[in-house]
Amino acid sequence: MEKTVRLNADQREDLVAYLDGELPDEEVQQIDHIIARSEVARHEVEALARTWEMLDVLPSAKASDDFASKTMTNLKVMEAPFILEDQWWYPYLRRAAVICGWLLCLGFSGWLGFQIARNWVPNPDDELLKDLPVIENLDQYQDVREIEFLNLLKQSSVFDDAQEK
Amino acid sequence: MALTTTPPANVDESGFLHDPEVQLMLRVKQGDDDAFTKLVKTYQDRLATIFFHMTQNQEAAEDLAQDVFMRIYRARNGYQPTARFSTWLFRIANNLAINSHRNKARRKEVPLPVGETTSMSGVRPESQVLADKSALMPTRQIDKHELQLVVQKALEQLNERQRLTVLLHKFEGMSYSEIAETMEMTVPAVKSILSRARDTLRTALEPYMQMGK
């Protein structure tokens, strides 16, 4: 390999694996061979190794001192059985339920009262509506004066001829 | 992606029973909460470190770490020792990190610059100014805080998957096959991701190589 030859992507991939000790022996020997002959490869390996070492300056994080106890407490809370009465919002929920109950009772009573008033208490207007046909023809009925006269008129067949005609 | 809380089942079961953390988890399964406290204490800083470098926020990192433990605890009854405990734990962490990133992207959050969000790195806003100066004068000698900031910024250039792969490899010392199992990828995919990530890091950090020595 020429000293100035640049490495291709596969060779670069192998260089990283080579540095990480993840290449099989055969390929390690090949890389050794390339490094020995190529200044570019040598520089590449050196740069990769040294920039990798620079990651050592990254700080290691430390969880807060109470992390473990906080985690265990949260786990206990997560695992604890759900008891409705123990919830902080339970008294509010109960009060709201009572208010809703009363409102429902009130609403139902109102509806029931309306139904009773509508169906069971007689309405004077209903009587008037029932008699409406009579009321509308009241003047004519008053002119007739007696029902016996009408019956006699019907029996006399005075209007039969007029109908036949 | 749905969160995976089921332990991986594609490996030989018997080999993992000797893992002390697997033993602890089996005790947790039996109802031993002290064993779980031990697991939390063992992994809390390691998870916090991974999530801190993913989120740049100490509080968010702790919340995510706690979420991981919650999911493990909830899944304890179905636990089967079919993998190293750490593999399972970091797989959950990986899924959570992806979901967290996705939610963050959905909310279109703009992350604050490093140093303003936390005191973790010990980087103050004035250090940001110094680091910017460093960027202008890469040959200038820079101190450790500035170098931290520069490296942190380089890390931020990686996408989520690359960053987590790098962190698992660097901080957890995971091999390619362990990373592949944790992140549910193939080994060649891990190799490719790490190669691209380290190429990006090299490009970003090369100007500071002499100063970092």
What pLDDT does B104 receive?
Answer: 73
Average model confidence (pLDDT) across chain B: 80
The count of domains in chain A is 2
% chain A with pLDDT above 70: 93
Q: How far apart are CA B50 and CA B68, in angstroms?
A: 12
What is the chain B residue with the closest CA to A44? B202
A100 Cβ contact partners less than 8 Å away, ≥ 6 residues apart: none
What are the Cα distances from residue A97, in Å, to A54, A65, A93, B212? 64, 44, 6, 68
Q: Can you give the pTM of this predicted structure?
A: 0.66
CA distance B107 to chain A (A): 26
Among the residue ranges A35-44, B107-116, B126-135, the one predicted with the least confidence is B126-135
Q: How far apart are CA A136 and CA A146, in angstroms?
A: 18
Query: Does B212 have pLDDT greater than 60?
Result: no
Mutate to test the interface with B, among A58, A62, A65, A66 (most CBs of B within 10 A): A58
What pLDDT does B108 receive?
Answer: 58
User: Residue A112 domain-assigned?
Assistant: no
Q: How confident is the model at residue A1 (pLDDT cuts 50, 70, 90)?
A: very low
Mark yes or no for CB contact B202/A48 under 8 Å. yes
Overall average pLDDT of the A84-97 stretch: 89
What pLDDT does B28 receive?
Answer: 93
> Does the interface ipTM go beyond 0.85?
no
User: Residue A110 domain-assigned?
Assistant: no
pLDDT tens-digit readout, B156-170: 999 999 999 999 999
Domains and CATH numbers, chain B: 8-111 (1.10.1740.10)
Collapsing DSSP to helix, strand or coil, A36 comes out as helix
User: Residue A45 domain-assigned?
Assistant: yes
Cβ count near A116 (within 10 Å): 10
CA distance B14 to chain A (A): 25
Query: Does A3 have pLDDT greater than 60?
Result: no
Burial of B104 (0-12, 13-18, 19+ CB in 10 A): middle
User: Residue A117 domain-assigned?
Assistant: no
Query: Does B119 have pLDDT greater than 60?
Result: no
What is the chain A residue with the closest CA to B42? A68
Higher pLDDT, residue A120 or B73:
B73
User: Residue A105 domain-assigned?
Assistant: no
Mark yes or no for CB contact A50/B209 under 8 Å. yes
Per DSSP, A7 falls in state P
Mark yes or no for CB contact A58/B151 under 8 Å. yes
Among the residue ranges A10-14, A37-41, A109-113, B31-35, the one predicted with the least confidence is A10-14
What pLDDT does B65 receive?
Answer: 95
Among A57, A73, A89, the domain-final residue is A57
User: Residue A91 domain-assigned?
Assistant: no
Of A17, A47, A63, the CB nearest to B202: A47
What is the chain A residue with the closest CA to B45? A62
pLDDT tens-digit readout, A145-159: 788 888 888 888 777
Question: What are the chain A neighbours of B120 within 8 Å (beta carbons)?
Answer: 59, 61
CA distance A66 to chain B (A): 10
- For residue A24, what are the domain limits? 9-57
CA distance B45 to chain A (A): 5
Is residue A13 within 8 angstroms of chain B, CB to CB?
yes
User: Residue A1 domain-assigned?
Assistant: no
Mark yes or no for CB contact A63/B191 under 8 Å. no
Q: How confident is the model at residue A64 (pLDDT cuts 50, 70, 90)?
A: very high
What pLDDT does B146 receive?
Answer: 87
Among A57, A73, A91, the domain-final residue is A57
CA distance B201 to chain A (A): 7
A9 Cβ contact partners less than 8 Å away, ≥ 6 residues apart: none
User: Residue A151 domain-assigned?
Assistant: yes
Among the residue ranges A90-99, B14-23, B81-90, the one predicted with the least confidence is B14-23
